[in-house]
Amino acid sequence: MASAAGSSRVPRVGVAVFLLRGKTVLLGRRRSSIGASTFALPGGHLEFGESFEECAAREVKEETGLEVDKIEYVTLTNTLFLDEPKPAHYVTIFMRASMKDPDQVPQTVEPDKCDGWGWYEWDDLPKPLFWPLEKMVQSGLSPFPDPNSGQ
Ligand code: 8DG
Ligand code: MG
């Protein structure tokens, strides 16, 4: 197998956040090169030394201005983005969280990365979804806590 030495084609770690409010999740239309103009979760790259929870809280704050609470791990994916302008490989950690203050309104803090944020019913998600998210929805995964788990 070819060595990765001398190549920038190394896997990176992404953290994406299901921010939950009632039966809705927060999605924004991406402007980034990967998944441009599809609806995706707030999130970004894990920084050196960060926990998944710290990264989730930081990315949501940076991209939406919202403060989050009750951050928990949901699942992960190992995804090759080969059809993108710049091929990439991500291990993405999906977390869920709720808002510290449910009355807070998401802001489009990084308009170069996202057209704007909106709350969408889990049963009526907008199209097209960023395809790792679409695959996840089709697999039947739910980011909502199990109502029988007492949470
Ligand atoms: P940063 O420089 O601010 O750290 O990062 P970013 O520019 O905000 O990164 P991003 O592309 O939003 O997220 C990093 C990667 O995570 C993304 O390129 C691919 C992966 N990823 C998924 N699904 C999702 C998702 O639903 N939302 C986000 N934001 N990233 C996702 O596999
Ligand atoms: Mg992002």
147 inside domain: no
Question: Is the Cβ atom of 114 under 6 angstroms away from ligand 1?
Answer: no
Residue 133 falls inside a structural domain? no
pTM of the prediction?
Answer: 0.93
Question: Containing domain of residue 113, as a range?
Answer: 9-124
What is the pLDDT, as a whole number, of residue 5?
Answer: 43
The mean pLDDT of the chain is 92
Q: What is the CA radius of gyration of the chain?
A: 15
Residue 119 in this model has a pLDDT that exceeds 70: yes
Place of tokens 């510290």: 100
Task: Tell me which of 45, 63, 86 to substitute to probe ligand 1's pocket, judged by most ligand atoms within 8 Å of the beta carbon.
Answer: 45
Atom 5, ligand 1: which residue's CA is nearest? 44
Nearest Cα residue to atom 12 of ligand 1? 44
Q: Provide the CATH number for the domain around residue 60.
A: 3.90.79.10
139 within domain boundaries: no
The answer to whether residue 106 is domain-embedded is yes
Number of residues assigned to the chain: 151
Evaluate whether residue 130 is within a structural domain.
no
pLDDT per residue over 9-31, tens digit each? 899 999 999 999 999 999 999 99
Residue 148 in domain: no
Q: Name the pLDDT band for 150 (thresholds 50, 70, 90).
A: low
HEC states along the chain?
A: CCCCCCCCCCCEEEEEEEEEECCEEEEEEECCCCCCCCEECCEEECCCCCCHHHHHHHHHHHHHCCCEEEEEEEEEEEEEECCCCCCEEEEEEEEEEEECCCCCCCCCCCCCCEEEEEEEECCCCCCCECHHHHHHHHCCCCCCCCHHHCC
Q: Is residue 55 within 6 Å of ligand 1 at its C-beta?
A: no
In a domain, 134, yes or no: no
CA atoms within 13 A on the CB side of 104: 19
Among protein residues, the one whose CA lies closest to atom 11 of ligand 1: 44
pLDDT for 35 equals 93
Q: How confident is the model at residue 1 (pLDDT cuts 50, 70, 90)?
A: very low
Classify strands 24-30 and 12-21 as parallel, antiparallel or unpaired: antiparallel
Classify residue 131: in a domain, yes or no.
no
Tally of domains in the chain: 1
